[in-house]
Amino acid sequence: MSRLAEIDSLEVVVIVDNEVDPMSPCMHPSVQASGGMRDISMKSTIHPENRGGANFELRMDNICCGAHGLSLMITAVQGEKRRTVLFDTGPEEDTWERNVRRLRPNLASIKLIQLSHWHRDHSGGMLRAIRMIHTAKGPSEDRVIVDVHPNRPDYRGIMATGPVSLEADPSFEEIKATGAILSRPNEPHTVLDDMFLISGEIPRVTPYETGFKRGIRFDSSKGTWKKDELILDERFLMCNLKGKGVVVFTGCSHAGAINASKHAMQFSEGSPLYCVVGGYHLADAEVSQIQETVRDFRKLGPKILIPGHCSGWRVKYEIEKKMPGCLVPSFVGSKFIL
């Protein structure tokens, strides 16, 4: 595997996340944040003579909508070079398209889509996202690469009093039918001029990060459900920010946010952990797991924590209490520069 290159800066656009809050400010001095009410109001101009000198209109249909899922548009900058990854695609196509049309990002710049793991709240918008990216690129540009784990389940679900099935993830055939270039590695590898690294299976080393409780998967060849709590296909994305350290993007952290962070450090070549962005999957966790996670984050020493999606309010409160100044909440429509 090639060595992960250092980059100068990172730009993150939150296309899909669970929470909407365009009013609360980002207080972290090392993060340039935008996407709030002021920025939203600047998108729509009106004739000043019609409304007593008002030049702008704050339109509600320019505010993004929250949904249970995650999709981040991540751009690594190295000198004059820019490389963009779409990390997950949210739970369904309409949400992804609606928020993209409101955010107006440069979809043509996306060279690769990485699916963090096979769960519908991360894969549901994929097929339309690919088509919209290709439309933005036009026929003369390269098709987008879609990087997924090869072990796609027929269905995943949750065991309640009986099995509850999730919708199926897009199939390999459906992805290829969009014209995208399908890539199915299961080992760690760098992408886009070595500016990003996609992990392989994440080792489980902490005693308290035990996976997705009551997770199951369906085997259509046998017509049966089986236990699937470890979600072994989950993979993180990481970058090495020059002079700051490693930034880890995690979809759900079914493997554990600490396990993912510790594993990322094995690829860091001595760089410290700087930031962890994405789902920490602690919304329904026991209080002890939340406390142990924040305790171990304190030991790892990141400067910025950006929990979103399935993290839940309790871990945000614990981070703010035990690691004051580190928390940057992830709201849909936010834009961060690290």
- pLDDT score recorded for residue 140: 85
Q: Which residues of the chain have pLDDT under 70?
A: none
With 0-12 CB in 10 A as exposed, 13-18 as middle and 19+ as buried, what is 70?
Answer: buried
Domain count across the chain:
1
Domain encompassing residue 194: 6-337
Strands 6-7 and 224-227 come out as unpaired
Rg of the chain over Cα atoms, rounded to whole angstroms, equals 20
Task: State pLDDT tens for residues 157-213.
Answer: 999 999 999 999 999 999 999 999 999 999 999 999 999 999 999 999 999 999 999
Q: How many Cβ atoms are within 10 Å of 120's Cβ, its own excluded? A: 20
CA distance 135 to 286: 45
| 306, β-bridge pairs | 277
The answer to the question of residue 1 being in a domain is no
Q: What value, to the nearest 5°, has the Cα angle with vertex 214 and ends 210 and 217?
A: 105
CATH number of the domain that 326 lies in?
A: 3.60.15.10
Contact 247, 277 (CB under 8 A): yes
The answer to the question of residue 166 being in a domain is yes
CA distance 273 to 220: 41
Q: What value, to the nearest 5°, has the Cα angle with vertex 260 and ends 256 and 263?
A: 140
Q: What value, to the nearest 5°, has the Cα angle with vertex 233 and ends 231 and 234?
A: 75
The answer to the question of residue 181 being in a domain is yes
Q: Where are the alpha helices (DSSP H) in the chain?
A: 37-41, 93-103, 120-123, 126-137, 172-177, 257-265, 287-300, 313-322
| 235, β-bridge pairs | none
Q: What value, to the nearest 5°, has the Cα angle with vertex 61 and ends 21 and 132?
A: 100
